Amino acid sequence: VGTARDDVMSTTAMRSRLLANVARETWRRASSRTGRHGAKHPVRWRTAASSSSSVEVQETETFGDDVHAQHRILRLDAPRADVHYVSAGDDTAPTVLMLHGFPDNHATWRGQIPALVRAGFRVLAPDLRGYGRSGKAAGVVAYGPAPVTDDLAALLDHERVDSARAVVGHDWGAAVAYAFAARHPTKLQKLSVLNGVHPAVFLDFVLSNPTQFLKSYYIGFFQLPALPELVLSFADFAMLRVVFAIDPAKPLERSDVDELVDACSIPGALTAALNYYRAAGPAHSLWSDVGACPVPVQVQWGARDRYLEEKIAIPPADVAPLANRSIVRHPDATHWVQWDEPDAVSDALIEFLNEK
């Protein structure tokens, strides 16, 4: 029996390594292609030389029992996209910019917004480009690090925030946060990451580590056109509803799941969310070189994450030289650490924000 089991495990490992090698070679070949003028991966994003902006003030929402947040939409000229966000706390308080992941929106921070405001901070929590009520630019290249982070820089500019006390990111929001720190280093003082990784580190690791490669199987599926949208939206987004029901350690309330699904069902939202993965994929490779993070980094990690390996949680010194080399670990939390351990996450975040 033992020999048979060993043979099966050996065969599985060989298959995993083979898949990883095939994917790595495919990625290498795609990454070595040249553009019309011989340049690798010509980036077709151009920041507008000048732009105007205005804000539409919308409804008010209460987080916790006593923290009132205002929904706003920042209207931006193309090529930037409109940004829907909530603003909570005193406008003169130190600002924390909070970035959600896939397939989420600003409401993922419902457990942290009240604690941060009570601790004396202001929170700006946007829907990332393409998500929820934010603008949905057409095309995959519109979801590379430059356009996504430039929207956020415009948001801080409009809100007269010279430098946020911190940018906080979960999942894809962490990748965006790393890119924001690299592209706009003067606009933040610190960075806090929740179950997310530096995109360049992840892309290198996923092609060399069979375990992470198998955990990331869905990323390959998301590269396909149209089919992922059909599968994820089938039967009133049944697949997403199942994920939200069984994936977190503490399943979301039905009303919260309905809110998430409603945001994903806005025309164009699901395609936009998937375009982040496509922009990072071998056909575009826009997230493979976002640059180094020059500010202090805190990493909080739900140890029961089924999508990411903990060994790449802390970026190497050449990518984030000021990163804390120890993880704030939440042993009973999943990938959705901000949902599973809202108080513990908030406490660790506030402690980090208050450090000199």
Q: Which of 277, 284, 305, 340 is catalytic?
A: 277
Tokens matching residue 177: 């946060």
Contact 140, 66 (CB under 8 A): no
pLDDT recorded at residue 250: 84
191-194 and 166-170 beta bridge pairing: parallel
Contact 324, 297 (CB under 8 A): yes
pLDDT recorded at residue 356: 86
pLDDT recorded at residue 288: 93
Q: Which of 171, 178, 284, 340 is catalytic?
A: 171
pLDDT recorded at residue 15: 43
pLDDT recorded at residue 5: 45
In order, the DSSP letters of 107-166 are GGGTTTHHHHHHTT-EEEEEPPTTSTTS---SSGGGGSHHHHHHHHHHHHHHTT-SSBSE
Tokens matching residue 45: 């994003």
pLDDT recorded at residue 30: 43
pLDDT recorded at residue 271: 98
What is the pTM assigned to this prediction? 0.87
pLDDT recorded at residue 52: 72
Q: Cα 51 to the chain's mean position, in Å? A: 26
Q: Which of 150, 170, 335, 340 is catalytic?
A: 335
Per-residue pLDDT of the chain (356 residues; tens, 9 = 90+): 544 445 434 444 444 444 444 444 444 444 443 333 333 333 334 444 345 789 999 999 999 999 999 999 999 999 999 999 999 999 999 999 999 999 999 999 999 999 999 999 999 999 999 999 999 999 999 999 999 999 999 999 999 999 999 999 999 999 999 999 999 999 999 999 999 999 999 999 998 999 999 999 999 999 999 999 999 999 999 999 999 988 999 888 999 999 999 999 999 999 999 999 999 999 999 999 999 999 999 999 999 999 999 999 999 999 999 999 999 999 999 999 999 999 999 999 999 999 98
277 given a catalytic annotation: yes
pLDDT recorded at residue 143: 98
Tokens matching residue 34: 């040249």
